[in-house]
Amino acid sequence: MPFFRDVVGQDEAKRLLLGCAHDGKMPHALLFAGKLGTGKLPLALALSRYLLCQHPDPEDACGKCPACKMMDRLAHPDLHFVFPIVKRKGGKDTVCDEYLSQWREMLERNAYVTLQQWMEKIDAGNQQPQIYVRESDEIQRKLSLKSSQGGYKVMLVWLPEKMNVECANKLLKLLEEPPAKTVFLLVSEQPEQLLATIVSRTQRINLHPLEDADIVRFLQERCGLVEEDAHDIAHRSAGSLIKALENIQLSDENKLCFELFVSLMRQAYSRDIRGLKSWSEQVAGMGRERQKNLLEYCQRMARENFVNNFHRREMVYMNAEEEHFAVRFSPFINERNIFQIMALLGEAQAHIEQNVNPKMVFFDMALKMIIEMKQR
């Protein structure tokens, strides 16, 4: 459970939050927004610890009081969590408390996490993660109780954009008339998908991509990297600590995405219809979150290979294996096809999010990619 000092960078946001807490002007609802790996969830957890600490100092929680000891285990009775989940067998709406032990286990290891890591943790398979309407009743029930310690009650909602419409509308009513001494912390990667009325009732905390220097310092101090390697990884991470951690050792998931991207492009160029059909079936068998991650990866690789044509190394964010492939591949991504390729990948991602049959989505995209790969 992080302290403010454990959150990488974001000094301006830390000062703002500490100032609000010191002055007794903490908004009843905060919306943490920013790209993956900027520290939204760690910062929200650090603020939760600070608000519930019995003896906070000017810059951080004390770490010694009974409240802090409970926070070490994410077991403070006045801290409540809401996060995307999948239904258990039986078909009835599931609530987050049924997954609370797995949630705590994940955050105890590392608060810089992704939705895909969470889905793998709970064995979600092909199910779409969601915050179900029954959760809104749980939120109301928990916040109707008196604070066990006499201070704040904190409701931390991770990825509120995953709420179904009915649940979001019930949350809106709570934000309009919040219980006394209650703070809502909404941690969002896609705030544009939230109800505008929810956004309007929060104070937004925008977290910017991390500075390379902050990532370098973290990689040297926490991961033991030498300065040259730390600088190289920080540059390729585009301000995301999660990407930096993945780049230390190319994860199995990233390797798979790279291999699938290479396979798609090679088979599209050679017009290997049978190979593309096999590729589509393989990808269709992956979970939907993994499918969306693959499409995001393919979009990033298309952009990076296009930019690579301009021979501006400081603007390219690829690892060594990706750069090696780009030496010959980059010329095939050019001004004649980059927009169409990005549109194809974006359209496929939208269809997957809408639960369209993945075999149809990926095979259709792969066939259209044949045309684009000939635009050299």
Cβ atoms of 128 and 288 closer than 8 Å: yes
My answer on whether 138 and 269 are in the same domain is no
* Residue 59 structure tokens: 């810059």
Burial class (CB in 10 A: 0-12, 13-18, 19+), 241: buried
Q: Give how many domains the chain has, as a whole number.
A: 3
Q: How far apart are CA 344 and CA 364, in angstroms?
A: 10
Half-sphere CA count of 277, side-chain side, radius 13 A: 3
Residues 144, 220 share a domain:
no
For residues 108 and 50, state if they share a domain: yes
Note the pLDDT of residue 90.
64
Question: What amino acid is encoded at 302 in this protein?
Answer: A
Confidence label for 303 from pLDDT (cuts 50, 70 and 90) = very high
- At 151, which CATH number? 3.40.50.300
Q: Are strands 182-188 and 29-34 parallel, antiparallel or unpaired?
A: parallel
Q: How far apart are CA 216 and CA 244, in angstroms?
A: 9
Residue 279: give the domain boundaries: 252-372
Q: Over 90: is that where the pLDDT of 9 sits?
A: yes
| Residue range 102-152, pLDDT digits in tens | 999 999 989 999 998 999 899 888 788 999 999 999 999 998 888 887 789
pLDDT of residue 235: 86
Q: Are residues 257 and 243 in the same domain?
A: no
Q: Greater confidence, 374 or 84?
A: 84
Question: Where residue 289 falls among pLDDT bands split at 50, 70, 90?
Answer: confident
Here the tokens at position 92 are 């009835």
- Is the pLDDT assigned to residue 313 strictly greater than 80? no
Q: Say how far apart CA 154 and CA 67 lie, in whole Å.
A: 13
User: 10 Å Cβ neighbour count for 56?
Assistant: 21
Work out the percent of the chain whose per-residue pLDDT is above 90: 70
3-class DSSP assignment, residue 129: coil
Measured distance CA(167)–CA(137) in Å, rounded: 9
Same-domain pairing of 51 and 191 = yes
Both structure tokens of 190: 């896609």
Of the three residues 249, 279, 314, the one that is the final residue of a domain is 249
Is residue 275 domain-shared with residue 339, that is, in the same domain? yes
Are 180 and 257 in the same domain?
Answer: no
Q: Are residues 196 and 148 in the same domain?
A: yes
CA–CA separation, 158 and 152 (whole Å) = 19
* CA–CA distance, 122 with 102 (Å, rounded to integer): 7
Q: Is the pLDDT of residue 229 over 90?
A: no
One domain for residues 219 and 285: no
**Residue 283 pLDDT > 70:** yes
Mean pLDDT score of the chain: 91
Q: Among 101-105, 162-166, 254-258, 304-308, whose mean pLDDT is lowest?
A: 254-258
Q: Is 252's pLDDT higher than 70? A: no
Amino acid letter, 371? I
Last-in-domain residue among 249, 277, 304: 249
Point out the domain boundary residue: 218, 249, 280.
Answer: 249
**Phi, psi dihedrals of residue 117, rounded to the nearest 5°:** -60, -40
Q: Which two tokens stand for residue 132?
A: 């179900």
- Residue 192 contacts residue 16 (beta carbons within 8 Å): no
Are residues 232 and 192 located together in one domain of the fold?
Answer: no
Confidence of residue 257 (pLDDT cuts 50, 70, 90): very high
Indicate the angle between helix axes 273-284 and 252-269, nearest 10 degrees.
150
Do 172 and 62 fall into the same domain? yes
Place of tokens 């095979």: 363
Q: Do 340 and 306 form a contact (C-beta atoms < 8 A)?
A: no
164 by DSSP, 3-state: which? coil
Q: Beta strands of the chain (E only): which ranges?
A: 29-34, 79-82, 153-158, 182-188, 203-207
**Residues facing residue 33 across a β-bridge:** 188, 206
The strand order across the sheet containing 153-158 reads 79-82, 153-158, 182-188, 29-34, 203-207
* pLDDT at res. 19: 93
Give the helix ranges, DSSP H, for 200-333.
Answer: 212-223, 227-236, 241-248, 252-269, 273-284, 288-308, 320-329
CATH code, domain with 313: 1.20.272
12 and 148 both lie in a single domain: yes
- pLDDT tens figures, 152-211: 999 999 999 999 898 999 999 889 888 888 999 999 999 999 999 999 999 999 999 999
Query: Both tokens of residue 46?
Result: 């650090």
Q: 107 with 75: CB under 8 angstroms?
A: no
